[in-house]
């Protein structure tokens, strides 16, 4: 009931905020980045360091979610559920209008959300698309974490102490628990599976490059694919190994140039090959056997295409994305998914570029515990890479709209495809009336409706006209919107956090870092309000 009461209060607050009355002293992106680069957020710290600023950031996130969704809040005030998750965990229920928010009643079952994963985390829904939950988490907790002395106490004390992840103090007595109490281990995994089913998750995408994380000679974490009891056999498991945050030191040292940067797959600890069920790869036209030859740009692009194809499929199955701890590689792909779907106009439809940027930086990165201050000190700039990478996903091939609209037209002399229509605007076909002024395109109707179809009229303009068919406009908007997000990020990041450029080349050629700003912010103005 506490969760329901919190949800009602938050929904009410979201409704009033979205009606034009923003919270007082609303923080800008610059203030957020400044706080982020100085403080590591921990829910258990409450209103400690930077308390008032953090509270404003939290309230701003709730207000932005409330613009387009009715949602519940899972209370995590003092890190009672997880010390590394937001104090107000948002559970999106459905897209909504202002009128619907007045009658909203929470349906979330808070008791389902129990820790079962690395660092006391659990599967957490963060994006709602076509009625499906896109979730994030850490990987599964292994014997070392679960049965270490501090870990064992953690699971029975409510999870307030995040020191449990350290396993230096594991003793012989602790290890005896491993062989003597396997029922607890089964019970914790059982909680995890029940939560996955509650969220209708079918696809689990694992970004780890190892089957199990080994520390001090002990398996500290595990993964679904390495579960010997095959508890996760009913789920579709995808192993898509992706370099850890340490690799992004090389990205920074190459003057922030990801092109040509290839991960070394021959390192001793890398023991997971890419593994994707064949039935999920047919429509993507990607040679997955070459994944070890891809540079960082190609690898990130292809993985994002895969994730988009999963969430945009015709079924109603949800998706889980996770790495080891869930606060580096995981937010990278969650953030790219959120921004890509937003750029298509499919989620967070009322948010402007500066607002969606604020939401994903604050919620997906800051409030879920990304250690920016630590990563910056070591030059491991995966956070910067995420938003600078937006320039590589502006094209139609990353659009979820493309999949929805790539349907054949009703049979007519063999039928026309959408590609045929495209050709009509580039070649002289004579009078447009000979083909008809309009064609009906079969496409899925609303994202939430499954199995129903509608017809959308697409106007064919005369040959040579500078305009395009109406359905192409969204793709053009996608590029513009992502460019605006990237430009706003680069401007704010450079002014509040700063970049560490490598020494200029002796040839005097423009460096990669300078080129980022020449392309990103040098050629377009940035409103000071966005900073």
Measured distance CA(183)–CA(218) in Å, rounded: 20
Question: Within its chain, how far is the Cα of 450 from the centroid?
Answer: 24
Q: Are 87 and 43 in contact (CB under 8 A)?
A: yes
Q: Are 295 and 178 in contact (CB under 8 A)?
A: no
- Whole-angstrom CA distances from 185 to 114, 159, 191, 257, 460 are 14, 16, 10, 44, 62
**Strands, sheet with 201-206, edge to edge from the N-terminal-most edge strand:** 124-129, 132-137, 318-322, 201-206, 236-239
- In degrees rounded to 5, what are phi and psi of residue 128? -120, 120
Measured distance CA(388)–CA(258) in Å, rounded: 10
Measured distance CA(387)–CA(335) in Å, rounded: 9
Measured distance CA(317)–CA(322) in Å, rounded: 17
Q: Are 393 and 336 in contact (CB under 8 A)?
A: yes
Q: Are 140 and 157 in contact (CB under 8 A)?
A: no
Nearest to 314 by CA among 348, 279, 344: 279
CA angle 301, 307, 312 (to 5 degrees): 120
Which residues does residue 520 pair with via DSSP β-bridges, in sequence order?
none
User: Is the alpha carbon torsion for 290, 292, 293, 295 positive or negative?
Assistant: positive
**Of 70, 323, 386, 422, which is the active-site residue?**
323
Question: For 30-40, b where at least 16 C-beta lie within 10 A, e where not — what string?
Answer: bbbbbbbbebb
Catalytic residue check, 70: no
Nearest to 4 by CA among 65, 129, 93, 86: 93
User: Is the alpha carbon torsion for 194, 198, 204, 205 positive or negative?
Assistant: negative
Give the number of other Cβ atoms within 10 Å of residue 205's Cβ: 22
Active-site residues, by number, are 323
């Amino acid at each position: 009931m506490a969760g329901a009461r919190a949800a009602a209060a938050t929904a009410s607050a979201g409704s009033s905020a979205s009606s034009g009355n923003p919270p007082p002293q609303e923080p800008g992106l610059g203030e957020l980045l400044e706080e982020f680069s100085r403080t590591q957020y921990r829910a258990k710290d409450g209103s400690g360091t930077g308390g008032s600023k953090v509270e404003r950031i939290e309230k701003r996130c709730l207000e932005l979610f409330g613009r387009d969704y009715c949602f519940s809040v899972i209370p995590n005030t003092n890190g009672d559920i997880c010390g590394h998750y937001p104090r107000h965990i948002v559970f999106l229920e459905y897209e909504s209008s202002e009128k619907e928010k007045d009658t909203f009643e929470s349906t979330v079952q808070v008791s389902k959300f129990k820790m079962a994963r690395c660092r006391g985390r659990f599967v957490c829904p963060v994006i709602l698309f076509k009625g499906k939950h896109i979730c994030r988490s850490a990987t599964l907790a292994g014997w070392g974490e679960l049965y270490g002395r501090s870990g064992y106490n953690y699971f029975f004390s409510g999870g307030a102490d995040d020191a449990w992840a350290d396993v230096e103090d594991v003793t012989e007595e602790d290890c005896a628990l491993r062989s003597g109490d396997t029922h607890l281990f089964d019970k914790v995994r059982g909680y995890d599976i029940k939560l996955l089913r509650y969220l209708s998750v079918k696809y689990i995408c694992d970004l780890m490059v190892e089957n199990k994380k080994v520390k001090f000679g002990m398996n500290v974490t595990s993964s679904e694919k390495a579960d010997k009891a095959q508890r996760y056999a009913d789920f579709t498991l995808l192993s898509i190994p992706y370099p850890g945050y340490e690799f992004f030191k090389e990205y920074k040292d190459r003057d922030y140039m990801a092109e040509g940067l290839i991960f070394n797959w021959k390192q001793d600890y890398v023991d997971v090959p890419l593994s994707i069920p064949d039935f999920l790869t047919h429509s993507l036209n990607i040679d997955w056997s070459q994944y070890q030859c891809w540079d960082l740009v190609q690898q990130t692009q292809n993985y994002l295409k895969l994730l988009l194809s999963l969430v945009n499929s015709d079924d109603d199955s949800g998706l889980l994305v996770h790495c080891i701890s869930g606060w580096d590689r995981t937010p990278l792909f969650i953030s790219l998914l959120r921004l890509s779907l937003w750029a298509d106009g499919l989620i967070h439809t009322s948010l402007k570029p500066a607002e969606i940027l604020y939401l994903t930086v604050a919620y997906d990165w800051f409030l879920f515990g990304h250690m920016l201050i630590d990563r910056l000190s070591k030059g491991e700039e995966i956070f910067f890479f995420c938003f600078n990478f937006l320039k590589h996903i502006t094209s139609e091939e990353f659009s979820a709209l493309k999949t929805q609209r790539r349907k054949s037209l009703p049979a007519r002399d063999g039928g026309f495809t959408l590609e045929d229509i495209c050709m009509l605007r580039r070649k002289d076909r004579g009078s447009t009336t000979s083909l008809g002024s309009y064609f009906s395109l079969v496409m899925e109707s609303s994202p939430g409706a499954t199995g129903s179809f509608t017809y959308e009229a697409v106007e064919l303009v005369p040959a040579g006209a500078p305009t395009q068919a109406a359905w192409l406009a969204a793709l053009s908007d996608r590029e513009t919107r992502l460019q605006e997000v990237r430009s706003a990020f680069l401007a704010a990041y450079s002014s509040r956090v700063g970049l560490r450029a490598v020494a200029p080349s002796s040839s005097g050629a423009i460096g990669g870092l300078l080129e980022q700003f020449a392309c990103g912010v040098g050629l377009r103005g940035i409103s000071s309000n966005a900073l």
